[in-house]
Amino acid sequence: MSDFPLPVLFIMAVFFSMWMIMRVFHKHEKAKRALPALDVYLQAHGQAEPSCHACGAVELKEEGLSHGKDSQRFVSCAKCKALLYRFERPQAAEEAVPVDAHWRPLDSAERRE
């Protein structure tokens, strides 16, 4: 074998593997952020309703860009998993109100109860 001890080779292999995984993940995230908006996508592919440009399927899957409740959404094909377009979902009325918006100090009658 070589002059390097086995634990050092193992650690190098782990770091190299993690680097490769992060590189692939970053490339996929970059591709999601570079997707066109819905209106640009429809215009570029000459469609009235969104469908997959790769396989023609109308079944689409919508996901948040960073998590499930993210307002920035991207859409991919449910059949061939091709990335299609992105859009921004408007916030719901209940989500737009901060948690502490309904807080108010108690008056003296409410404190005694």
In this prediction, residues 39-50 reach a mean pLDDT of 89
Tens digit of pLDDT for each residue in 31-40? 988 999 988 9
Averaged pLDDT of the chain: 82
pLDDT at residue 21, rounded to an integer: 96
Q: Residue 108's pLDDT band (boundaries 50, 70, 90)?
A: low
User: Strand, helix or coil at 73?
Assistant: strand
- Mean pLDDT (whole number) for 89-108: 60
Residue 2 has a pLDDT of 61
| Whether the Cβ atoms of residue 70 and residue 64 lie closer than 8 Å to each other | yes
- pLDDT one-digit tens code per residue, 47-88: 888 888 888 888 988 888 777 777 888 889 989 988 899 888
- Work out the burial of residue 36: count CB atoms within 10 Å of its CB; fewer than 13 is exposed, 13-18 middle, 19 or more buried: middle
- Statement: residue 111 has pLDDT above 70: no
How many other CB atoms are found less than 10 A from the CB of residue 66? 10
Backbone angles phi, psi at 49, to 5 degrees: -115, 145
pLDDT(3) > 80:
no
Cα gap 100→89, rounded to integer Å:
24
